[in-house]
Amino acid sequence: MLNVESKDVHQCSQGWVPVYADQAQQLAVMSIGFLLSSRDDAVVWRGPKKNAMIKQFLSDVYWQELDYLLIDNPPGTSDEHISTVENLKKYKPDGAVLVTTPQAVAVADVRREITFCRKTGIRILGVVENMSGFVCPHCTACSNLFSKGGGEQLAQQCNVPYLGSIPLDPQLTKSLEEGENFMNSFQTSGTRQAVMGIAEMILTQTNDKHS
Amino acid sequence: MLNVESKDVHQCSQGWVPVYADQAQQLAVMSIGFLLSSRDDAVVWRGPKKNAMIKQFLSDVYWQELDYLLIDNPPGTSDEHISTVENLKKYKPDGAVLVTTPQAVAVADVRREITFCRKTGIRILGVVENMSGFVCPHCTACSNLFSKGGGEQLAQQCNVPYLGSIPLDPQLTKSLEEGENFMNSFQTSGTRQAVMGIAEMILTQTNDKHS
């Protein structure tokens, strides 16, 4: 998605140097993918090895000064989530953004993640609904791929902020396939506006705390 | 999806009695969801507890005589997959069906799962491409939601059978939301045909072995 698949991580005296996804070196990326010898390699690791790697990504990467650190976790409430929370606690993280799709089975998973955040004392910045409708490029009618509004209902029921929805937009998915910068390439897109709106809501909340 | 969310698992002298999803008691289901006191409960378990539960689902459930046992695993190659393979080995499982969506990032994950199956000696029954296009209910034009044919290409590259593709069909997703039997309700649907074709290909391969 960030067009960095073939890049390598290097070692410097301060630790691992992350991969930069942009020329201005503002977006630093770290992934286990950079450490594999081939893209077909399976990372057949049980929890303890995954936990050690999460710890290392936080302590041994030379991140330098960062405005924001985003950690993309898989769905669920298992090793990855417990280790992330445990290792971040001392840095007082801003909170969690929970992403769902509209179907009942996805919403049910995110409902359990809300319970997890509350149990572990992680602030919930809000819920995003992804794959929220599809605009047909042929007739411009918007269809629901799944049911509609599951994310918003969940946010209301659980009394957490609803950050907004992102449709399944072929322009966006194509950009992600090709490692193209969607936000630059489609300035007038409604999907771009939706993403910006969500980002602004998150920034407002985290700035409250930082100022 | 199977309309069993509120059902409970009972204990008999032979072990846990699974939940039956149909009146004829032909489809037995076991899930950790049946063991939670509330549907909001987060199962905050590290690997070892998950591994113990997988083992118990195979040994302590009173499955009775089964034609097929399907185990639905999350994406990846971690605790769930290692434990499933380790615990099933002695029963000589028929093999693995690998499900991808068309995007490059999903295909890359399934490519690693193929490596995992080969390393652990699990036969690959084939690859299915899910969310493969969307038929607009307004204009009936078919659009690619993501790129097209990623699953088929992967199967060719890795020399494993390609079982077929299933489109994102609002009739199917709605049925799954409502716990309705899609296969009975939409007898003439192209999506139903696609699912049947995939099922038949899998049965042919597994019958070779059983006969």
pLDDT digits (tens, 9 = 90+) for A178-209: 999 999 999 999 999 999 999 999 999 888 66
DSSP 8-state code for residue A168: B
Q: Is residue A87 part of a domain?
A: no
pLDDT of residue A73: 95
Q: Are residues A98 and A52 in the same domain?
A: no
**Who wins on pLDDT, A140 or B95?**
B95
Residue B201's closest CA among B125, B101, B110, B96? B125
For residues A87-114, give the mean pLDDT. Answer: 94
Q: Is residue B170 part of a domain?
A: yes
Helices vs strands, H then E, count in chain A: 7, 9
CB contact under 8 A, B50 and A108: no
Q: Is residue B84 part of a domain?
A: no
Mean residue pLDDT across chain A: 92
Please say whether the beta carbons of B151 and B102 come within 8 A: yes
Q: Are residues B102 and B46 in the same domain?
A: no
CB contact under 8 A, B112 and A176: no
Contacts of A64 (CB under 8 A, 6+ apart): A28
Q: Which tens digits make up the pLDDT trace of A158-169?
A: 999 999 999 998
Q: Are residues B61 and B99 in the same domain?
A: no
Q: Is residue A77 part of a domain?
A: no
CATH, residue A160 = 3.40.50.300
pLDDT of residue B208: 67
Q: Is residue A75 part of a domain?
A: no
Question: Around Cβ A67, how many Cβ atoms within 10 Å?
Answer: 8
Report residue A109 as tokens: 């998973």
DSSP 8-state code for residue B193: H
Number of structural domains found in chain B: 2
Q: Are residues A101 and A191 in the same domain?
A: yes
Q: Is residue A196 part of a domain?
A: yes
Nearest chain A CA: its distance from B14 CA (Å):
31
Q: Is residue A80 part of a domain?
A: no
Q: Which tens digits make up the pLDDT trace of A25-52?
A: 999 999 999 998 888 888 999 999 999 9
- Confidence band for A155, pLDDT divided at 50, 70 and 90: very high
Q: How many CB pairs under 8 A join A and B?
A: 129
Using the predicted structure, report yes or no on whether residue A116 has a pLDDT greater than 90.
yes
Q: Are residues A119 and A199 in the same domain?
A: yes
Please say whether the beta carbons of B159 and B130 come within 8 A: no
For residue B79, the chain A residues in CB contact (below 8 A) are 46-47, 79
Q: Are residues B99 and B185 in the same domain?
A: yes
Chain A residue whose CA is closest to B51: A46
Q: Are residues B47 and B97 in the same domain?
A: no
Single pTM value for the model: 0.91
Which of these three, B47, B66, B85, is where a domain ends? B66
pLDDT of residue B209: 62
Pairing between β-strand B15-17 and β-strand B10-12 as defined by DSSP bridges:
antiparallel
Q: How far apart are CA A163 and CA A157, in angstroms?
A: 14
pLDDT of residue A139: 82
Q: Is residue B77 part of a domain?
A: no
CB contact under 8 A, B44 and A145: no
pLDDT profile of chain B (211 residues), mean per 10: 91 95 94 89 92 94 94 93 94 96 93 96 97 84 84 96 94 91 94 96 82 55
Chain A residue whose CA is closest to B48: A47
Q: Are residues A48 and A119 in the same domain?
A: no
Q: Read off φ and ψ for residue B18, nearest 5 degrees.
A: -70, 165
pLDDT of residue A207: 81
Chain B residue whose CA is closest to A158: B40
Helices vs strands, H then E, count in chain B: 7, 9
For residue B119, the chain A residues in CB contact (below 8 A) are 42, 44
Q: Are residues A62 and A159 in the same domain?
A: no
Please give the angle made by the CA atoms of A148, B20 and B30, to the nearest 5 degrees. Answer: 75
For residue A76, the chain B residues in CB contact (below 8 A) are 74
pLDDT of residue A146: 85
Q: Are residues A109 and A194 in the same domain?
A: yes
Pairing between β-strand B134-135 and β-strand A134-135 as defined by DSSP bridges:
unpaired
For residues A3-22, give the mean pLDDT. Answer: 93
pLDDT of residue A5: 87
Indicate whether this complex's ipTM tops 0.90.
no
Which structural domain range is residue B118 located in? Answer: 93-208
Taking the alpha carbons of B164, B169, B171, B176 in that order, is the dihedral positive or negative? positive
Which of these three, B26, B48, B66, is where a domain ends? B66
Which of these three, B50, B66, B82, is where a domain ends? B66
For residues A55-83, give the mean pLDDT. Answer: 94
Please compute Rg for chain B using Cα positions.
18
For residue A112, the chain B residues in CB contact (below 8 A) are 40-43
For residue B136, the chain A residues in CB contact (below 8 A) are 136, 138-139, 141, 143
Q: Are residues B97 and B173 in the same domain?
A: yes
pLDDT of residue A208: 67
Q: Are residues A200 and A101 in the same domain?
A: yes
Chain B residue whose CA is closest to A134: B145
Nearest chain B CA: its distance from A138 CA (Å):
7
